[in-house]
Amino acid sequence: MDKMGWPISAKLAREWFASPKHAYNDQLNSVQPIDDRTVSLEWALRFRGALERFNQLVRQAIYTPNAATSARNTLTPVIEKSFAAGQMNAAGIVIDTTPFLTDLLQFHVAWRFQYQSVSSVDTLDGTALTDLTGALANFNFYAAVGKATVTGERYYKYEGKNKIFCLEPVAQITHIYVYIKDSYSFNDDSPSKSQYLGHWNKNGMVLSYVAAANDFFKSSNLNVGNSTIEKWHYLPEGEEVNKPIDKRTSLFRKFMAKDVYWPVHNKTYREWRAAHNRGGDFMTHPGGTMKMIRLILRAILVVGAVALVAAIVWPFLPPGATNAIAIFALKNGKTAIFIVTAVIFAAYFYWLLRNIAHFGRAKRAGLAIVTLGLLACLALISLGGVTTDDTDCQRFNYNAKMNGGIKQVDGTTYIVNICGSGARSHGFFADQNEQVKLVITDANGSTLATRLFFVFWDGRPGEDSIKIRDGKLIYFDASDQYDSMRSISLPPTLIDWVAARIPIWLR
């Protein structure tokens, strides 16, 4: 196994050979020796098929009606006991199963509520066997309650002269533990047929594909994709699977010991155990690397997305809106967008850091693109802001008021149009600053440059008017605490020309 590049399989095999004689009891809740160090969830999720089954569990299977019923059956006795003991406070009953991890078997018996099967086919890399195939073959992912909160209406139920304090509980599982549990054993379902494990020698393994196919498909409910394969009749299988295989790879096809592979079945291990009084079956359970997943993250992202949409839509409402919520949104839309976007990005980044090791190369590339997009969005909002154009050139033409109109500079004609949005100088959100848009075109009406800025009408007289000086158009921008004089070169630069064709909200 080491020579085949299967380190985990080799480690488990050495552990079995070195352990005292022990046959696995296949009863579901039987107590068995446990190896909680060798197999980790992170290692298993490096294999694409296993990762797909894991995602199927945490994204779909735990939300099914059957899972809800199982979770209800798991939590009901705990809730009843806690309520009877008076452990419910104003926040409800808080359940945390972490202290129970000291006994992995009892934790599994008491708290699991859903599982997802992983077949031998899922462990393959295309058609090639992998370290996961050699170590676990068929196994299950399990989901168990991690943390839950219980709330509900409390009331008294009267029965004659007696009154009973009651609760209508509503439980929300906010965290789950996901883990692998499997047996490293060599029991057979039928005494007449022992499972084929390949032809082996010290250098590697070869397969009899007829025998392997029989063992892959002999069990019912073998999951391949989303389908279920029923029991197959055995393919024709001769005595060759019980005999050595000689590959004869030498130049003259002479006999060489390294070319001979010997058949191995489950019964081979049992016979070795009986002869040497060693060989201990055990349970694989990665208790030290059990993964807790926060389910509430999905709810946070949904609420955040709704809030983000609302924050983006509200600032685009017409300036004449009188609804208090709309006006508040107009004034605080940028801040709301930044806060909500930052919260969503923080939640996404936390999820990404915890799961990046489980993704394949293609998915990592896709997530990198999404992450860069979110970073660009944050930079746009925090550094440049999200600007909306509320100006109305039909109602608020400020060419006369701010010295716009036709300008001659070095023999070239420019047309400067200045429009406002209407001063908001009354009401609860009184604001003396008015948004103004300045557009410079050539004599033919082609746009050369645009600027969106604010004018403070109660400032020094004449400060709000534009001026032409030294080949530049100069204006005063009262957008924020860094009010200052700004300028546009005449003729405008190529960057000005390009920027004038980009939507205002993207600048």
Domain end call among 289, 318, 350: 289
What sign for the dihedral angle of Cα 38, 42, 47, 50?
positive
DSSP string covering 310-341: HHHHGGGS-TT---HHHHHHHHHHHHHHHHHH
217 CB burial (10 A radius; 0-12, 13-18, 19+): buried
Full DSSP string of 369-413: HHHHHHHHHHHIIIII--------TTT-B-TTTTT-EEEEETTEE
170 found inside a domain:
yes
Instruction: Indicate whether 421 belongs to any domain.
Output: yes
Q: What is the pLDDT of residue 460?
A: 56
pLDDT tens for 127-157 read 788 999 889 888 999 999 999 988 877 766 7
Which pLDDT belongs to residue 238?
54
Residues 67 and 155 in one domain: yes
Contacts of 374 (CB under 8 A, 6+ apart): 341, 344, 345, 348
What pLDDT tens digit does each residue of the chain (507 aa) get? Answer: 888 889 999 999 999 999 999 999 877 778 888 888 899 888 999 999 999 999 999 989 998 999 999 998 999 888 888 877 777 776 688 899 999 988 888 899 999 999 999 988 888 888 788 999 889 888 999 999 999 988 877 766 777 777 676 777 888 888 999 999 888 988 887 777 788 888 888 888 877 655 555 545 454 333 333 323 333 333 344 566 678 887 766 555 566 777 888 888 889 999 999 999 999 999 887 765 676 776 644 444 444 454 445 544 444 444 444 444 444 444 555 566 667 767 777 777 777 776 666 566 676 777 788 778 777 766 665 555 455 677 888 888 999 888 999 999 998 999 999 998 876 544 444 456 788 899 999 988 899 999 888 887 765 555 668 899 989 999 988 876 566 788 999 999 998 898 888 765 545
Measure CA of the first residue to CA of the last residue in the chain; give whole Å.
59
Taking only Cα atoms into account, the Rg of the chain, rounded to an integer number of angstroms, comes to: 36
In a domain, 376, yes or no: yes
In-domain check, residue 193:
no
Q: Are residues 376 and 473 in the same domain?
A: no
- The CB-side HSE value for 459 (13 A sphere, CA atoms) comes to 16
Same-domain pairing of 327 and 369: yes
Greatest C-alpha distance within the chain:
107
Report the SS3 class of residue 295. Answer: coil
Residues whose CB falls within 8 Å of the CB of residue 346, separated by 6 or more in sequence, listed in order = none
Contact at 8 Å (CB) between 206 and 261? yes
User: Contact 156/165 with Cβ under 8 angstroms?
Assistant: yes
76-to-83, 107, 425 alpha-carbon distances in Å: 11, 16, 61
422: tokens are 């209407």
**Side chain identity at residue 259, one-letter code:** D
Helix 324-355 with 361-379: angle, nearest 10 deg:
150
Question: Is residue 327 domain-shared with residue 420, that is, in the same domain?
Answer: no
**Computed from CA positions of residues 132, 262, 126, 186, in that sequence, does the dihedral angle turn out positive or negative?**
negative
Chosen domain end from 329, 353, 384? 384
Structure-token match 């552990």, residue found: 15
Say if 202 falls within a structural domain: no
Q: Report the domain count for the chain.
A: 3
Q: Residue 494, class by beta-carbon neighbours within 10 Å (0-12 exposed, 13-18 middle, 19+ buried)?
A: exposed
Query: What does the alpha-carbon distance between residue 329 and residue 315 come to, in Å, rounded to a whole number?
Result: 6
In a domain, 235, yes or no: no
- The rounded distance, in Å, linking the Cα atoms of 436 and 465 is 12
Structure tokens at 409: 């500079």
Structural domain including 329 reads: 298-384
Dist. CA 61–CA 70, nearest whole Å = 12
Return the pLDDT at 298. 47
356 with 417, same domain? Answer: no
User: Do 135 and 281 lie in a common domain?
Assistant: yes
Establish if 392 belongs to a structural domain. Answer: no
Residue 326 belongs to a domain: yes
Clarify whether residues 448 and 345 are in a common domain.
no
What distance lies between CA 14 and its chain's CA centroid?
Answer: 37
CB atoms within 10 A of CB 505: 15
DSSP state for residue 89 in the 8-state scheme: B
pLDDT tens digits along 330-360: 455 556 666 776 777 777 777 777 666 656 6
Per-residue model confidence (pLDDT) at position 271: 93
- 397: number of CA atoms within 13 Å, CB side? 8
State whether 20 and 135 are in the same domain. Answer: yes
Amino acid at 446: S
Are 132 and 54 in the same domain?
A: yes
Does residue 285 share a domain with residue 305? no
**How many CA atoms within 13 Å lie on the side-chain side of 456?**
14
Q: Does one domain contain both 317 and 180? A: no
